[in-house]
Amino acid sequence: MQKITCIVLVLQCIISFRLLAGLPVNSGKSGEDGKIILGEKILTIVAFGNSITATRNTIDQVFAQRLPSLLLAEGIEAKVINSGLPDSHTGSIKDHNLFKIKHGMDRFETDVLTHNPDLVIIGFGTNDAHIDEDIPDGKSRIPLKEYQRNLKFMIKELQRRRIDVLLIAPNGLRGEYPEFQNVRLYQYVEVVKKLSKKYKTGLVDNFKFFSDYYETDESGEELLLDGVHPNDKGHALMAGEITQEIVKITRVKY
């Protein structure tokens, strides 16, 4: 009888400690307020992309840095690994070598798979679609079909390993960028949306999301630093959208 009492007291102490620390107590259930409670499960997330994903000295927190606290508020304890790399496209350095770095396909194994993630956020397209020549019919750095093939490979490989996928469609360009760059970029956005639908992945459409913001917000506040990269407010809004997509994914899975 004394042993049982001791065990109960120990369990009560553990639960009290987790509650005081703000940690979830139950495992794999949904609370009364609809928030997901994963218990001892810590979600490992990899954010894989280009400079829009990567950390920046001029930004307090990019979206990946904001996710742990936002997810914890939803009852999801997460570790987020930022594998964003500036100037990166989905292909290999041999496909377009203007920037002498490891690109998406070059580093998919080392920067994503080796972390054994539960979920991967993939955000490419801005560099893939970009036309280096100042002409509307110039070549993109990574042709549209190659872009689609690269993303398809990543999605299928992750899903084969039972890893969840959340795709981010790139935001449109503003400022001094000519409109033909956005016309080309939107073709790449459409590929992301079609792949998401076909493979039933999570999706955050930044092209639409940012465009809608500018059309409806009367403050005129900018979301981009330089016409390409989100500023702190842009990243905060992105992080909110991504959090809700992750909540949807985990609600189904857990």
pLDDT digits (tens, 9 = 90+) for 99-148: 999 999 999 999 999 999 999 999 999 999 999 998 999 999 999 999 99
Q: Which residue has the higher pLDDT, 9 or 54?
A: 54
Contact indicator for 44, 79 with CB cutoff of 8 Å: yes
State pLDDT tens for residues 166-196. 999 999 999 999 999 999 999 999 999 999 9
- pLDDT higher at 23 or 34: 34
What are the φ and ψ backbone dihedral angles of 223, each rounded to 5 degrees? -105, -5
Average pLDDT, the chain: 88
Q: Is the pLDDT of residue 18 over 90?
A: no
Query: What pLDDT score was predicted for residue 8?
Result: 34
Predicted confidence (pLDDT) per residue in 71-99, tens digit: 999 999 999 999 999 999 999 999 999 99
Mean pLDDT for the stretch of residues 202-217 = 96
pLDDT at 219: 86
| Cβ atoms within 10 Å, residue 207 | 22
Supply the pLDDT for residue 218: 81
Q: What is the reported pLDDT for 79?
A: 98
CA dist., res. 125 & res. 7, Å (int): 55
Label the pairing between strands 43-49 and 78-84.
Answer: parallel
pLDDT at 199: 98
CA distances from 176 to 30, 69, 138, 252 (A): 47, 35, 18, 43
* Buried-exposed string 143-154: b where 16+ CB fall within 10 A, e elsewhere: eeebbbbbbeeb
> What is the pLDDT, as a whole number, of residue 252?
76
pLDDT for res 36: 58
Chain Cα centroid distance, residue 168: 6
Model pLDDT, residue 220: 84
Give the C-alpha separation, 112 to 110, whole Å.
6
Tokens found for residue 243 = 């959090």
